[in-house]
């Protein structure tokens, strides 16, 4: 029994204390006495031991896991000084067999082995089908071993790989069984000799002799008591045959953040780790290695042979090198076992075997299919060949034949069958294309096909429901990228690249792929300028796309305004009202992002007037939302709420026009975002937080990261912080961090930094909160994306005040107030004035606190911003109590506390927010000296 020495150390440790718990730490110390290793390594070796012992099979148990603690050896153990007496039945010989020894454990195939055992018992003719290297022989041998006791005349393994003449197939079996064949018709003679035999015949590697193998198998099952288990890359299509198509080993669908324990739940990773340990005994598998190993297994499509070969490289290459070199995988993966068949000693040889068995038309089609990066249809495949090339065989029939031979993966779940090549198979097909000189023409044909597809997609964007449109076109994103990479390359076609880019813009915006859109649009615009067509409808679309994508993804956002203006001028020149509305929306959003709120209100008015002229109701309501949002920032909360609620009451997204593409965000989500902010300002914090939470759930269901990021940054995170719900704030901020890191949305990533700082301040970490806020604010100051910068400056000033860094606090709050005065941003002025009063109140030499508080109250009341009024009333009452002593019975304290009670009385009943709790604590307790600003 082949067991590594570390596994043997673990087994000895368990057997020495049979029946007792042996902790994980004790086992690790025994097997790795001077090395720190992750617990995952122990799991791998224990799993290997269980496989070797066949633990769990036929009711045998050896090693039991005690969750969270360790392992226990539970089989009976006897220590003897002399040989045991012969066991009863020891003289009974097992059925004969020539099954090859399993040199390693069978990883991740328990379900398939069990299915084969059941099918052989039921049908007697079973074929295991799959591509080369998938593990067909391994699974068949494992199943045959399980079936040995059921066949008294034995289990016989016939390797047909060396057989080249179909007529010699029955002869190969006869020779193995020692039954000489003397006639020219060997099958009847062989059948006669086997009529009374109950045996299992394993016909391995039948694909190159499939007709002969099918004839022999059919005769054996029909005319004898034998059963047949075959392996082939395509079904035998024999009478009574049951087919088990062997899938790839399961792989993780992600690498980022994957732990070793999570990765080991996938058979592909377990196989890699087991083979790596067998190759290099010092190999360790920790959380650090898990993402790389998962990525390697995913790149190799879960193909067992490829994974085994890649793991065999760990003695000379690091994991990162293996992952990098997989682009040249046919040179890397040449480390098969020396004792393996020649075609299994390298990955290329395994595929050469299958490729060489194809008829010429199928070989040609297989090569051409390599240009497809993802799923394709038979119609798409037809664009890659001509009738003269494929001959009388139609493309659909050829694809079906390739699929039956396990070279093409089939998906028949939808209305139209889809096909794809596994990544490894695709890489092989591309190599063959290059060898035959067909690569360039094939890639040109593929790019032209993609252009035609996405021109259709752009046209259907106005005709199909959004969900159906995305479902139809999102799967083609990888092919789009592959086509653009070729078209933009040295041997590509610039005109084709521009047409592809223009047609693909709706898809990028629907999927929030803004950075990808920006890079592609920039390249296309350069190409148009070089061609002298920079004032064209294509340029109008590209300028619109580039302006959209640069708003949140690039440090060049300052150029966005000029791009929107140019896009608007082109749209007006060409009479394109839809793009005029898009450009006006962009100019409005850009003005807001720059903190120019009065300009934003004016542009919202222009948008609304143009929308009314077109008569498109949904566009008119989008204008209502834009006006309401602008009024919110200008401090006119009642009017803002009327516009937003009017929009929400009647807005219905156009069934056949995606406003996600036209106006960047889901308009209902965006309207509720603004309304939740207004509700908080008007003293309805529970409604505001509930609306924010409900809208986050709705935005997540949309699967539109841009809308979700916008909501998190502008409503969910700030409202949770203003309410004082730090758990919700941290949860939503973490979600924002994840989304903005993944999609390179730099502006909102900076917002998340500021939210993190605010949460630290509220939790009492002044130093950490100030540092985090300063970092975010410094980034915002350098950018043009400054919406809410004044609010962040106010939070930083308040933190500096609490830390008694008063000079810094004054400078920061003065910067915030100056920005508000310059931009007409009024919604947070009352809060900034209150913080100014708090700073003044901390300085004994500054007598202006009362004036700042009074101005804050005036602004809050004028705007009907009850939330700010409550904060200011609390600050006034706290200051009066501090100045009047502990009793709080002086005239100023009594007046301030009465005013605070009056504000609290105007608040609707609901959960106590942080502000309400602070106000009530002030009213309830006489000692306010310890109260913080």
Residue 231 belongs to what H/E stretch? strand 227-232
Domain borders along the chain are: 5-73, 110-245, 260-348, 358-437
Classify the C-alpha dihedral 110-116-121-122 as positive or negative. positive
Give the residue among 431, 429, 403, 404 at the shortest CA–CA distance from 418. Answer: 403
- Model pTM score: 0.62
Q: Look-up: residue for tokens 């002969």?
A: 212
Element (H, E) at 202: strand 200-204
- E strand map for 352-437: 409-411, 418-420
pLDDT digits (tens, 9 = 90+) for 109-165: 889 999 999 999 888 999 999 888 888 988 999 999 989 989 999 999 998 988 888
Gap between the terminal Cα atoms of the chain = 74
Please give the DSSP secondary-structure letter assigned to residue 925.
-
Encoding tokens for residue 483? Answer: 């086509």
Q: Which fold has domain 5-73?
A: Arc Repressor Mutant, subunit A (1.10.10)
Residues β-bridged to residue 126: 229, 242
Closest CA to 920 of 878, 891, 879, 889: 878
Q: Quote the CA–CA distance of 726 and 731 in Å, as a whole number.
A: 8
Q: Which residues contact 178 (CB under 8 A, 6 or more apart)?
A: none
Contact 653, 659 (CB under 8 A): yes
**Closest by alpha carbon to 448, among 403, 378, 384?**
384
SS3 340: coil
φ/ψ of residue 155, rounded to 5: -120, 125
CATH 3.40.50.10260 is the classification of domain 358-437: no
Burial of 42 (0-12, 13-18, 19+ CB in 10 A): buried
Structure tokens at 142: 């494992």
DSSP conformation letters of 520-572: HHHHHHHHHHHHT--SSHHHHHHHHHHHHHHHHH-TTGGGHHHHHHHHHHHHH
Token pair, residue 903, equals: 């504000």
Using the structure block, give the residue that is written with the tokens 């941290």: 730
DSSP label at residue 172:
H
The CATH number of the structural domain formed by 110-245 is: 3.40.50.300
Low-confidence ranges of the chain (pLDDT < 70): 1-4, 34-38, 40, 56-59, 81-93, 101-105, 180-184, 281, 327-347, 350, 391-393, 462, 552-558, 653-662, 664, 742-747, 784-786, 885-889, 925-933
pLDDT, tens only, 675-708: 999 999 999 999 999 999 999 998 888 777 778 8
Least Cα distance to 680 among 726, 724, 643 occurs for 724
Annotate 493-529 with b (16+ C-beta within 10 A) or e (fewer): bbebbbbbbbbbbbbbbbbbbbbbbbbbbbbbbebbe
Provide the residue count of the chain.
Answer: 933
Give the pLDDT confidence score for residue 336 in this predicted structure. 47
| Surface-to-core class of residue 929, CB atoms within 10 Å of its CB (0-12 exposed, 13-18 middle, 19+ buried) | exposed
Fold equal for 5-73 and 358-437: yes
Distance of CA 111 to the CA centre of its chain: 27
Q: What is the DSSP letter of 128?
A: E
Distance CA 144, CA 496 (A): 56
């Amino acid at each position: 029994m082949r067991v590594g020495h570390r596994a043997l150390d673990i087994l000895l440790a368990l057997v020495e204390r049979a029946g007792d718990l042996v902790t994980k730490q004790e086992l690790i110390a025994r097997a790795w006495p001077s090395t720190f290793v992750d617990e995952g390594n122990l799991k791998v070796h224990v799993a290997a031991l269980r496989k070797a012992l066949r633990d769990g099979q036929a009711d045998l148990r050896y090693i039991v896991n005690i969750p969270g603690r360790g392992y226990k050896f539970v089989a009976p153990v006897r220590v003897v000084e002399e040989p045991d007496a012969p066991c009863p039945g020891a003289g009974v010989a097992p059925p004969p067999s020539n099954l090859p020894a399993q040199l390693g454990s069978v990883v991740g195939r328990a379900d398939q082995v069990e299915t084969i055992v059941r099918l052989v018992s039921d049908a007697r003719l079973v074929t295991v089908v799959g591509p080369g290297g998938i593990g067909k022989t391994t699974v068949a041998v494992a199943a045959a071993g399980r079936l040995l006791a059921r066949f008294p005349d034995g289990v016989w393994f016939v390797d047909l790989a060396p057989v080249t003449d179909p007529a010699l197939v029955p002869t190969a079996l006869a020779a193995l069984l020692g039954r000489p064949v003397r006639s020219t018709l060997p099958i009847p003679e062989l059948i006669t000799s086997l009529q009374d035999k109950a045996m299992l015949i394993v016909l391995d590697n039948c694909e190159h002799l499939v007709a002969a193998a099918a004839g022999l198998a059919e005769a054996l099952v029909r005319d004898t008591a034998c059963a047949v288990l075959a392996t082939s890359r395509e079904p035998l299509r024999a009478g009574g045959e049951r087919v088990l198509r062997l899938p790839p080993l399961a792989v993780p669908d992600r690498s980022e953040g994957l732990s070793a324990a999570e990765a080991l739940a996938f058979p592909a990773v377990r196989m890699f780790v087991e083979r790596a340990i067998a190759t290099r005994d010092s190999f360790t598998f920790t959380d650090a290695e898990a993402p790389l190993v998962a990525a390697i297994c995913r790149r190799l499509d879960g193909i067992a042979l490829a994974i085994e070969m890649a793991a065999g490289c760990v003695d000379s290459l690091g994991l990162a090198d293996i992952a990098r070199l997989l682009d040249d995988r046919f040179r890397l993966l040449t480390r098969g076992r020396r004792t393996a068949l020649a075609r299994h000693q390298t990955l290329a040889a395994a595929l050469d075997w299958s490729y060489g068995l194809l008829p010429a038309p199928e070989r040609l089609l297989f090569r051409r299919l390599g240009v497809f990066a993802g799923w394709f249809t038979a119609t798409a495949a037809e664009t890659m060949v001509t009738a003269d090339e494929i001959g009388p065989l139609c493309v659909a029939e050829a694809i079906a034949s390739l699929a039956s031979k396990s070279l093409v993966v089939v998906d028949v779940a939808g209305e139209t069958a889809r096909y794809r090549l596994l990544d490894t198979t695709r890489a092989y097909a591309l190599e063959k294309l290059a060898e035959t000189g067909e690569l360039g023409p094939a890639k040109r044909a593929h790019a032209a096909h993609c252009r035609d597809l996405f021109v259709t997609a752009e046209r259907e964007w106005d005709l199909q429901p959004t969900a159906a449109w995305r479902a139809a076109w999102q799967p083609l994103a990888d092919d789009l990228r592959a086509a653009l990479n070729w078209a933009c390359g040295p041997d590509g076609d610039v005109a084709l690249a521009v047409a592809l880019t223009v047609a693909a813009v709706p898809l990028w915006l629907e999927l929030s792929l803004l950075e990808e859109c920006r890079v592609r649009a920039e390249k296309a615009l350069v190409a148009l300028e070089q061609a002298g067509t920079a004032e064209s409808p294509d340029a109008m679309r590209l300028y619109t796309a580039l302006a959209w994508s640069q708003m949140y993804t690039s440090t060049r956002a300052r150029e966005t305004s000029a791009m929107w203006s140019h896009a608007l001028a082109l749209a007006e020149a060409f009479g394109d009202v839809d793009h005029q509305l898009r450009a006006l929306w962009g100019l409005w959003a850009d003005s807001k992002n720059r903190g120019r709120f009065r300009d934003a209100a004016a542009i919202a008015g222009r948008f609304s007037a143009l929308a009314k002229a077109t008569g498109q109701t949904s566009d008119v309501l989008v204008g209502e939302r834009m006006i309401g949002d602008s009024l919110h920032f200008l401090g006119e909360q009642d009017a803002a709420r009327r516009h937003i609620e009017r929009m929400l009451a009647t807005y219905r997204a156009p069934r056949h026009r995606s406003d996600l593409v036209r106006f960047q965000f889901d308009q209902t989500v965006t309207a509720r975002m603004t309304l939740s902010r207004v509700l908080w300002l008007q003293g309805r914090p529970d409604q505001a937080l509930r609306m924010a939470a409900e809208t986050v759930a709705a935005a997540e269901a949309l699967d539109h990261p841009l809308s979700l990021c916008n909501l998190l940054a502008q409503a969910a995170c700030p409202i949770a912080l203003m309410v004082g719900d730090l758990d919700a704030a941290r949860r939503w901020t973490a979600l924002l961090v994840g989304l903005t890191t993944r999609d390179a949305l730099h502006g909102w990533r900076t917002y998340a930094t500021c939210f993190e700082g605010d949460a630290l301040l509220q939790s009492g970490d002044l130093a950490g909160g100030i540092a985090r806020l300063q970092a975010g604010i410094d980034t915002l100051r350098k950018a043009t994306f400054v919406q809410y910068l004044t609010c962040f400056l106010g939070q930083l000033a308040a933190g500096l005040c609490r830390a008694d860094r008063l000079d810094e606090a004054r400078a920061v709050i003065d910067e915030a107030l100056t920005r508000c005065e310059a931009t007409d941003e009024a919604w947070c002025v009352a809060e900034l004035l209150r913080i100014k009063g708090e700073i003044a109140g901390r300085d004994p030499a500054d007598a202006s606190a009362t004036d700042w508080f009074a101005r804050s109250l005036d602004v809050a009341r004028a705007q009907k911003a009850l939330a700010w009024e409550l904060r200011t009333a609390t600050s006034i009452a706290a200051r009066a109590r501090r100045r009047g002593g502990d009793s709080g019975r002086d005239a100023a304290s009594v007046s301030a506390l009465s005013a605070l009670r009056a504000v609290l009385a105007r608040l609707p009943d609901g959960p106590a927010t942080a502000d309400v709790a602070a106000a009530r604590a002030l009213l309830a307790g006489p000692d306010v000296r310890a109260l913080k600003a």
